[in-house]
Amino acid sequence: MFVINCPYCGEREQSEFKAGGEAHIVRPKQPTELSDDQWAEYLFMRKNIKGIQFERWVHTHGCRKWFNVVRDTSNDMIKAVYKMGEKPPTK
Amino acid sequence: MTKNLRVKTSRFIDETYKVSFKFNGTTYYGYKGDTLASALLANNVHLVGRSFKYHRPRGIMTAGSEEPNAIVQLHKNTSRTEPNVRATEIEIYEGLEASSQNCWPSVNFDIGGINNFLSPILPAGFYYKTFMWPASFWEKYEYFIRKSAGLGKSPKEPDPDIYEHKYIHCDVLVIGAGISGVMAAKSSAKNGYKTLLVDEKPYLGGSTIYQNSEHFKINNQISSSWLEKEINEIKKIKNLEIKTRTSVAAFHGYNFLLARENLTDHLPLEQRNNKTRHRLLKIRAKKVITATGSLERPLIFNNNDRPGILLSSAIEKYANLYGVACGEKNVLFTNNDSAYETAISLNQKGINIEAIIDNREEIDSKLINEIEKNNIKIHKGYTIVDTFGYKRINKVSIMKLSKDGQKVIGSKTSIDCDCLGISGGWTPAVHLFTQSGGKLKFRDEDQVFIPNIYPSNQISIGSCNGEFTLDEILLTIPKTLKEFLNLKDIDFEDLEIESSFNKSKRNIWLLPSDKVIGKTKPFIDYQNDATAKDIKLALREGFRSIEHVKRYTTTGMGTDQGKLGNMHALGIISETVGSKMGELGTTTFRPPYTPLTFGTIVGRNVGEYFDIFRKTPIHDWHVQNKAEFENVGQWKRAWYYPKDGENMHDAVQRESKAARDSAGILDASTLGKIDIQGTDASEFLNRVYTNAWSKLAIGKCRYGLMLNEDGMVYDDGVTTRLDENHYIMTTTTGGAATVLGKLEDYLQTEWPELDVYLTSVTDHYATVSVCGPNSKKIVSQVIPDLDFSDESFPHMSFKNAKIGKIKCRVMRISFTGEHSYEINIQANYGKSVWEKCMEVGKEFKITPYGTETMHLLRAEKGFIIVGQDTDATMTPIDLQMDWIVSKKKYDFIGKRSLYRSDTIREDRKQLVGLLTENPDEILEEGAQIVADIKKSPVEMLGHVTSSYYSPNLKKSIALGVVKGGKNMMGQKLIIPMEDKQISVTVADPVFLDKENKRLNA
């Protein structure tokens, strides 16, 4: 069980949070203009990386805010947290 | 055979405090401070159990938690009985009753012992290979296999003990209170760190504390005396908490650890009542110092498992700590110097040593010199090739080792003995380190795995880090601690150390014998009877991965998890396949390090606290009125109210009829309620529901269907516009939390520009729903000031009202198809409003109904229940609810998915009504629906999702999903059951009042 540094509340136990899958997948603004394949790409395709992964988390049993986490899935080490709308760290 | 083998007194044993206990029905005596194992050995009892597969007699082998053999059942046939307790760990108390496991009728005469003679035909994988054919016989085999297998018996009665969980946050956690741990704890706590020191034993000081040798000195004091002073000092440090009898079970990422603190297992039963037995400590430490020590390795030679064969360090511990001689004619067998420490201890206490057999040819150290001075014969360069004695060792035969250690040469000699101590060197206890994600490296010079890469803020010190000798430990640790804890000074920097330990070792994983390997039994895993032969067989059969060999041979899979023999298994594999030990890796060390009881894991979450449940404000009334309850999500909902011995069917029939004929009342408080406010609230609803919301007038209600982005129905409910920018949304009971979560997700991540605020108000309001032709007469009496005329208050509208002085919201909405009202009032008034409705409703025979009747009534109307009639593969089109999907709206969640190539297929499963040919035949929910039962294989078209007998229509009705069902109206289908086939006709899913006359009646 890891400790997540919520950008709004600070360090809390993992059990207070819920994971929300890969980050930075933006819902298309005009879904009706997409082909089946393009829509399927948005809807179904997700990365499952061994290593550095950008993902969404929500502080369910806390402030209920969504934010982004950079996690190394091979050892669960969290490299960075940042708010929704902020640019992902490059390093 | 009863003898007293208690030698000189030990300061760890209170000889004034005699304790009587029973083992296998015989009464024995020991002293306070004894473990069951030490007390048995003092009574000359070695034979304590039988092995798992061959039922070979087995004795106490170790003096700690690594014990593979001496596992016993405590207090048989009582509620406190416990299997698989290690005799080496349990402290004796007055009235302790223990018995052997895995033997019948007794440990002395065990019928299963015949397996030992059958062992040539019981190789590794025997059960896998033999009981495969014929498959249908497995049930018969299984009965006998299960009966003869298994370790101990679990209790049949509820656990009378109390367990609890506790969170601990500390700066530094030190695991293990041996000399390294004590030094670490002192350095940490004295420098202001909040420190916790835990050890699995009842005393502090590890194995140094019972050393009594002039050869090991610190600052000119014998090491144990020096350590004792240190221990007395750390007990006084304020910010150091010390927990003994506390074993760390798991070391997870981010320095999160689980430990079990054992509070009462050492007390007589009558002193345990109302006390907490085990406490599970959930520890979050900023830094962790692992000082878990090391485990002595056995040596792998033919028949190395007889009772009377112990680890050499265990013999020393029994002598020094408990004052017990394990035998009168002791032989030691070693490949390193540590057996000589044992020899010196035994010699000091006057315990006879017949001989020492040492693998090494050329050896020299102060320890060895002292032994030779005492005229104890050392057979240098020799190995044991066999042992004798069935229930107790009585002889070993030895032969000279060849130069390369692969063969034995020369002639065989025998040495009589009644106890054999073996020492194969030491294995660092890296279990916790690897559990935490640490990576090991292999040190070739003494063939050990030691910590290499730390995954978190932690360090391993002492012998668990491969520092085995006193001078090594005392020289490295101060430096390590200083760095790890960022200290300027440390107490232990200028210690004077005298240590006589010579590190030389001759490592031979599998010692040779004069017999071929097929004729020998060199045990590697004692508990599971896995021998070197089995491992070689597995390799011959093509197994290569260490994980596969482990599972095939069961090496390391017992309750001891291979703490003793795993290294040898690895060694033999690498030698046989010719690969390097380091490259082979190890099997995964999984938690718990030592077994936990279920009670410890569960803690206080037992009985009514096992799973939390939610009660509505009207719950007590339902209880008083004998409702049966149904679990919906976490809620307890009134299911039906049986009257005068009614069964469920009769009660539901009566309730359903009453609701349509006159009036029914339902507690709908569990429905999820989300308060939505903001200038963009209407736009938000437009995006999350499939239908249009912009034009909904204030004071009106609308039913909405919510989809997932994949187009599948997610939730449904009625939302009411309370004001221009204010809505109240209802969700399904089970969906409340996830719907709120989903809405928040979209608001925060996709549409942060929308001005919308969401608040869950499910618990804030009680909801009383009154339905039926007389509902208006009842509700208008409860709220007399309100205009209930159809013009002013039509179906799907809402009014603010007051009951007395209390504000409430009244919605005229219906899930039953009847004229009906829902009163929403602040939760604490819910019960009184309910009771008021019951009172004024008396003249109309108002009938409380539960969820089952609610389901029946809505099924008559063909209203769906999300999660019952849908299963995350149903679109609104599949549900024949095209009417609710807006064609005009540009976008809403899931819209694009409604015309994917897959969702527009004509042959998707679609919701239809089903009518049975025989109107009294009620279908089973979940039953399969087929068209042609002669076709092979029979094609499954769908299944029944809801089914009831309708008392209002006087016939059986059902809903189901059928492939292409929309176009099958009137068609006959078959529902094959075990004993019959039921003929059904596909029908409109709305069975009653299609014109909605009753809603407006």
Q: Name the nearest CA neighbour of B848 among B707, B556, B652.
A: B652
**Residue B154 domain flag:** yes
Omega before B105 cis (within 30°)?
yes
Do B228 and B86 lie in one domain? The reply is no
**Residue of B748, B750, B890 lying closest to A27 (CB–CB):** B750
Do B136 and B55 lie in one domain? The reply is yes
Q: What is the pLDDT of residue B212?
A: 83
Do B336 and B208 lie in one domain? The reply is no
Q: What is the pLDDT of residue B131?
A: 58
**Residue B222 domain flag:** yes
Tokens of A41: 């790409």
Q: Residues B343, B376: contact at Cβ < 8 Å? A: yes
Q: Residues B703, B811: contact at Cβ < 8 Å? A: no
Please tell me the distance from the alpha carbon of residue B353 to that of residue B435, in angstroms, as a whole number.
Answer: 40
Token pair 């086939």 is found at B981
Omega before B976 cis (within 30°)?
no
- CATH number of the domain residue B24 falls in: 3.10.20.440
**Residue B541 domain flag:** no
Q: What is the pLDDT of residue B559?
A: 79
Tokens of B778: 């009842």
Tokens of A90: 């490059």
**Residue of A3, A43, A65 lying closest to B709 (CB–CB):** A43
Searching chain B, which residue's CA lies closest to the CA of residue A20?
B745
Please give the DSSP secondary-structure letter assigned to residue A28: P
Instruction: Using an 8 Å CB-CB cutoff, list chain B residues near A65.
Output: 748
* Cα three-residue angle B805-B808-B809, rounded to 5 degrees: 155
Do B434 and B342 lie in one domain? The reply is no
3 state SS of B653 = helix
Section B673-687 average pLDDT = 98
Tokens of B998: 């009753």
Is B748–A66 a contact, with Cβ atoms under 8 angstroms apart? yes
Is A1–B891 a contact, with Cβ atoms under 8 angstroms apart? no
Tokens of B391: 């229930």
- Which pLDDT band holds residue B110 (cuts at 50, 70, 90)? confident
> How long a stretch of residues is chain B?
1001
Q: Where in the sequence is the domain holding B873, given as residue range(s)?
A: 861-1000
Residue B115 predicted with pLDDT over 60: yes
Q: Residues A60, A18: contact at Cβ < 8 Å? A: yes
End-to-end CA distance of chain A: 25
Section B448-467 average pLDDT = 96
Instruction: Using an 8 Å CB-CB cutoff, list chain B residues near A40.
Output: 900
Q: Name the nearest CA neighbour of B24 among B6, B41, B49.
A: B49
**Residue B118 domain flag:** yes
Instruction: Using an 8 Å CB-CB cutoff, list chain A residues near B890.
Output: 32
Please tell me the distance from the alpha carbon of residue B473 to that of residue B459, in angstroms, as a whole number.
Answer: 14
Phi and psi at residue B711, in whole multiples of 5°? 90, 0
Q: Count of CB atoms within 10 A of residue B300's CB?
A: 22
Instruction: Using an 8 Å CB-CB cutoff, list chain A residues near B455.
Output: 75, 77
Do B851 and B875 lie in one domain? The reply is no
Do B868 and B835 lie in one domain? The reply is no
Do B70 and B148 lie in one domain? The reply is yes
Q: What is the pLDDT of residue B147?
A: 57
Q: Name the nearest CA neighbour of B675 among B726, B744, B751, B738.
A: B726
pLDDT digits (tens, 9 = 90+) for B640-661: 999 999 999 999 999 999 999 9
Q: What is the pLDDT of residue B52?
A: 78
Residue B135 predicted with pLDDT over 70: no
Query: Last residue of some domain: B395, B424, B453?
Result: B424
Pick from B748, B886, B905 the residue to mutate for testing the A interface (most A CBs within 10 Å): B748
- Which pLDDT band holds residue B951 (cuts at 50, 70, 90)? very high
By CB atoms closer than 10 A (0-12, 13-18, 19+), residue B187 is buried
Query: Last residue of some domain: B449, B464, B498?
Result: B498
Please tell me the distance from the alpha carbon of residue B83 to that of residue B76, in angstroms, as a whole number.
Answer: 9
Residue B870 predicted with pLDDT over 80: yes
Please tell me the distance from the alpha carbon of residue B964 to that of residue B905, in angstroms, as a whole number.
Answer: 9
Residue B693 predicted with pLDDT over 70: yes
Do B434 and B420 lie in one domain? The reply is no
Domains and CATH numbers, chain A: 3-25+38-83 (3.30.2270.10)
Phi and psi at residue B762, in whole multiples of 5°? -55, -45
Number of domains in chain B: 5
The rounded mean pLDDT for chain A is 95
Q: Which residue type is seen at B960?
A: G
Tokens of B411: 């002639």
Please tell me the distance from the alpha carbon of residue B846 to that of residue B774, in angstroms, as a whole number.
Answer: 9
Token pair 């359903």 is found at B656
**Residue B553 domain flag:** no
Shortest distance between the Cα of B682 and any Cα of chain A, in A, equals 19
Section B960-968 average pLDDT = 97
Type and span of the H or E element at B771: strand B765-771
Please tell me the distance from the alpha carbon of residue B209 to that of residue B228, in angstroms, as a whole number.
Answer: 7
* Cα three-residue angle B810-B812-B813, rounded to 5 degrees: 120
Q: What is the pLDDT of residue B148?
A: 58
**Residue of A1, A18, A60 lying closest to B252 (CB–CB):** A1
Residue B990 predicted with pLDDT over 70: yes
Do B889 and B984 lie in one domain? The reply is yes
3 state SS of B926 = coil
Q: What is the pLDDT of residue B51?
A: 83
3-state helix, strand and coil shares in percent for chain B, rounded to the nearest 5: 25, 30, 45
Section B274-279 average pLDDT = 96
pLDDT digits (tens, 9 = 90+) for B694-729: 999 999 999 999 999 999 999 999 999 999 999 999
> How long a stretch of residues is chain A?
91
Q: What is the pLDDT of residue B54?
A: 83
Residue B936 predicted with pLDDT over 60: yes
- Which pLDDT band holds residue B55 (cuts at 50, 70, 90)? confident
* ipTM here: 0.98
Quick check: A46 contacting B, CB < 8 Å? Answer: no
Interface contacts A/B by beta carbons within 8 Å: 55
Q: What is the pLDDT of residue B356?
A: 97
Residue B2 predicted with pLDDT over 80: no
Do B450 and B389 lie in one domain? The reply is no
Q: Residues B660, B842: contact at Cβ < 8 Å? A: no
Residue B558 predicted with pLDDT over 90: no
**Residue of A18, A39, A65 lying closest to B748 (CB–CB):** A65
Q: Residues B747, B740: contact at Cβ < 8 Å? A: no
Q: Residues B431, B593: contact at Cβ < 8 Å? A: yes
Three-state SS string across B813-870, please?
A: CCCCCCCEEEEEEEHHHHHHHHHHHHHHHHHHCCEECCHHHHHHHHHHCCCCCCCCCC
A32-36, B79-83, B211-215, B387-391: least confidently modelled range: B211-215
**Residue B976 domain flag:** yes
Q: What is the pLDDT of residue B9?
A: 67
Please give the DSSP secondary-structure letter assigned to residue B510: S
Q: B217-241: string of b/e by CB count within 10 Å (b at 16+)? A: bbeeebbbbbbbebbeebeebebbb
Token pair 């927990």 is found at B243
Section B536-540 average pLDDT = 91
Type and span of the H or E element at B138: helix B138-148
Residue B142 predicted with pLDDT over 80: no
Task: Give the rounded percent of residues in chain B with a pLDDT score beyond 90.
Answer: 81
Q: Give pairs for B791-797: CB < 8 Å, separation 24+.
A: B794/B1000, B795/B819, B795/B999, B795/B1000, B796/B700, B796/B701, B796/B702, B797/B699, B797/B700, B797/B701
pLDDT digits (tens, 9 = 90+) for B619-642: 999 999 999 999 999 999 999 999
Instruction: Using an 8 Å CB-CB cutoff, list chain A residues near B749.
Output: 56, 66, 84
Please tell me the distance from the alpha carbon of residue B354 to that of residue B341, in angstroms, as a whole number.
Answer: 15
- Which pLDDT band holds residue A45 (cuts at 50, 70, 90)? very high
Do B375 and B479 lie in one domain? The reply is no
B151-160, B349-358, B825-834, B960-969: least confidently modelled range: B151-160
pLDDT digits (tens, 9 = 90+) for B377-417: 999 999 999 999 999 999 999 999 999 999 999 999 999 99
Quick check: A7 contacting B, CB < 8 Å? Answer: no
Section B588-609 average pLDDT = 90
Please tell me the distance from the alpha carbon of residue B868 to that of residue B886, in angstroms, as a whole number.
Answer: 24
Please tell me the distance from the alpha carbon of residue A66 to that of residue A56, in angstroms, as a whole number.
Answer: 7
The CA–CA distances, whole Å, from B804 to B364, B408, B512, B799, B826 equal 100, 102, 96, 16, 13
By CB atoms closer than 10 A (0-12, 13-18, 19+), residue A46 is exposed
Q: What is the pLDDT of residue B250?
A: 96
Section B482-498 average pLDDT = 91
Higher pLDDT, B428 or B1: B428
Do B241 and B342 lie in one domain? The reply is no
Section B497-502 average pLDDT = 82
**Residue B609 domain flag:** no
**Residue B520 domain flag:** no
Quick check: A40 contacting B, CB < 8 Å? Answer: yes
Residue B744 predicted with pLDDT over 80: yes
Q: Name the nearest CA neighbour of B616 among B791, B422, B728, B767.
A: B767
Residue B67 predicted with pLDDT over 60: yes
Task: Give the rounded percent of residues in chain B with a pLDDT score beyond 70.
Answer: 96
Residue B518 predicted with pLDDT over 90: no
Section B863-871 average pLDDT = 95
- CATH number of the domain residue B780 falls in: 3.30.1360.120
Question: Would the CA dihedral through B70, B75, B77, B80 be positive or negative?
Answer: negative
- CATH number of the domain residue B337 falls in: 3.50.50.60
Q: What is the pLDDT of residue B560?
A: 80
Please tell me the distance from the alpha carbon of residue B265 to that of residue B242, in angstroms, as a whole number.
Answer: 18
Beta pairing, strands B701-707 & A18-22:
unpaired
Q: Residue B916 forms beta bridges with which residues?
A: B984
By CB atoms closer than 10 A (0-12, 13-18, 19+), residue B800 is exposed
Quick check: A58 contacting B, CB < 8 Å? Answer: yes
List alpha helices for A1-91, DSSP H.
36-44
Beta pairing, strands B419-423 & B309-311:
parallel
Is A31–B256 a contact, with Cβ atoms under 8 angstroms apart? no
Question: Would the CA dihedral through B650, B654, B659, B660 be positive or negative?
Answer: positive
Query: Last residue of some domain: B449, B470, B498?
Result: B498
